[in-house]
Amino acid sequence: MRTAMCSWTLGLGLCAACTCTATGQGLLVHAMTGQPVPGGSPGEVFATFDGMYEGRTLPRIDNGHIAFRTRTIAGESVRTRIIGGRSGAPIVAWGFSDGVGIPGITPVFSYESLVRVGGDGRVAFFARFAGEGVTSLNNEALLTVQDHSVQMVMRKGDQVPGMTPGSVLRPYWPSESWMDSDYYGPIRRWSYSGSGITSLTTYVSNSNQPGSYGFLATLTADTDGLSLLARAYGTDPNPRTVIDGGLIHNPISVTSINDLGTVVFGVGLDIGGGAIAAREAGELRLILRTGEPAPGMPSTVMAPSGIYAYSGSPTWPVGLNNHDDAALSVSLRVGGSTTGSGVVRIGDEGTLFVAKTGDPKPGSSGQFFTVSDLAGSRVLLSGSGEVAFADQSRRGVCVGNDISDLRLAFDPLSSVWPTNLGQPLVITDTIGMNASNQLVAALTFPTSPATTAVAGWDPIAGNILIAYTGQTIEVLPGVFRTIRAIDLNGMDGVVSGGGEDGHPNSLDDQGRIVFTAHFTNYESAVLVATIPAPSVGGVLALGVLAAARRVRRQPS
């Protein structure tokens, strides 16, 4: 075991915090079982970060603002709290027992999976509530809170604009909870931009038409209300959305949204084939559809892969950044037969391959991407245009602009990993990326029982081991705890984002990583680590590289 070297700080009089050097990385205890709850009632302490029956405590971070849902206790009173605040200085953003500042509404429940935080510190979450006039038809809503000011952004039962009266938001089965429905509920199918705009695909039905099957709709919502982007088939009289001569059959259940309000999502068309649609400044357009010629590959066509499905099962979001670039995996076909797979980036310069079947794999000698390696891969896109993806082997994450500069993050052969743990695999849902092209991911090592780790990667510094199960760290002066389990964003099926695509992240643009550690004595803590900043030369090199890519993307 490596020795932990610690220096101690006090979190602005709010709670005790420590920065610990464990496996070479500084860890800050952001919040911990038994510690006072800043902004809470007298004697109130953090009770558990295990989530009990409400899911795990999976903290999210953006621009140093951290948000998570947890349980607290004061005397015999157990409460559910949404905790906000900056790194090292948590504070109660909102409590379920406190009301929401909206007359007649008493919130009673929320899922950790439904908590988001924006770069301005605004926290967004879905909640279930009770009160006068509240029924099963309108008892759930999306709320945002900042500086204890709460707004209701959308609510189950809301009328969808532009649709016939009675066309309202609701779950597929009326008896289900809207917010946690696995069949087109928002729990895994919404995104929240840094500018405070929400996008999601959900179910809509007409309450004035008994027997109506309803339809799927992709919408955005902000403080100005709901906006309809696209809708699919249904038995109601509302017109379906037409794009490129085809009627939308089934919008994808996962959307991406950037800070500009551009939304990207997959659709199915009744004329055949999946497609990717983008809504920019009120205009719906296709950016890639089945049958589009593969660049530089005569007689080969592409089809979106991994982001489109007719069923309600979760699928990958499309990579998106604030330059309106997109990235995703595709299957390659010749004459109706699948001949390969690839990862493409779509921007001002058109559609370009980042990698495809037959290209050499980074970090290996004599190995090449196979026919199925890249099919359905999770693809992330940073603000500078760098693409990150994990192939089917999960042996690391490929990062780069094209095949000529692909590097392998979290290389299983790296000397950073303890030799007694073996070679790690990446837990794909947990991969997060930021504007500096840094990465975070949870890794699993082939020990018995399996060892789980949190690791970071920097284009200059390389792989960084943050923490792992079985490791002992000093959490308070002279107080040591051994990590029993780790929870990182993405472990509940709500995938991490690329920093500008509206999906929750455990990594912000300053390289701060946030996760939950559970200890062998059943205490828990929310911890913050920081990926070391690149050298000045490294920053300049990254800046020049990003500028060069932006120049290449200017329309001719």
For residue 185, the model assigns a pLDDT of 60
- Look at 23-27, 209-213, 312-316, 549-553 and tell me which has the smallest mean pLDDT: 549-553
State the Cα–Cα distance between residues 286 and 137, nearest whole angstrom: 35
41 Cβ contact partners less than 8 Å away, ≥ 6 residues apart: 74
Identify whether 549 is part of a domain: no
Q: Is the peptide bond before 103 cis (omega within 30 degrees of 0)?
A: no
DSSP state of 198: E
C-beta separation of 441 from 432 below 8 A: yes
Query: Tens digits of per-residue pLDDT, 361-392?
Result: 998 888 999 998 998 888 999 998 999 999 98
CA dist 464 → 60, 442, 454, 458 (Å): 20, 12, 9, 8
Integer distance in angstroms from the first to the last C-alpha of the chain? 57
Looking at residue 500, its amino acid is E
For residue 135, the model assigns a pLDDT of 83
State the Cα–Cα distance between residues 315 and 313, nearest whole angstrom: 6
For residue 334, the model assigns a pLDDT of 96
Name the residue among 192, 185, 186, 181 with its Cα closest to residue 67: 192
Identify whether 486 is part of a domain: no
Identify whether 376 is part of a domain: yes
Identify whether 281 is part of a domain: no
Q: How many CA atoms does the CB half-sphere of 87 hold within 13 Å?
A: 23
Is the pLDDT confidence value at 3 over 50? no
Identify whether 347 is part of a domain: yes
- Look at 113-117, 185-189, 206-210, 506-510 and tell me which has the smallest mean pLDDT: 185-189
Identify whether 394 is part of a domain: yes
Tally of structural domains, the chain: 1
Section 137-141 average pLDDT:
86
Query: Tens digits of per-residue pLDDT, 504-517?
Result: 899 999 999 999 99
Most confident of 86-95, 185-194, 291-300, 308-317: 291-300
Position with higher pLDDT, 138 vs 361 = 361
- Look at 28-42, 95-109, 210-224, 330-344 and tell me which has the smallest mean pLDDT: 95-109
Residue 13, judged by CB atoms within 10 A of its CB (0-12, 13-18, 19+), counts as exposed
Identify whether 385 is part of a domain: yes
Query: Tens digits of per-residue pLDDT, 194-219?
Result: 888 998 888 888 766 655 567 888 88
- Look at 53-57, 335-339, 365-369 and tell me which has the smallest mean pLDDT: 53-57
Name the residue among 429, 399, 427, 394 with its Cα closest to residue 412: 394
Determine the structural domain holding residue 362 and report its residue range. 315-409
For residue 217, the model assigns a pLDDT of 84
State the Cα–Cα distance between residues 70 and 414, nearest whole angstrom: 36
Give the gyration radius of the chain's Cα atoms.
Answer: 23
- Residues of the chain with pLDDT > 90, as a percent, come to 41
Identify whether 529 is part of a domain: no
Name the residue among 368, 428, 417 with its Cα closest to residue 394: 428
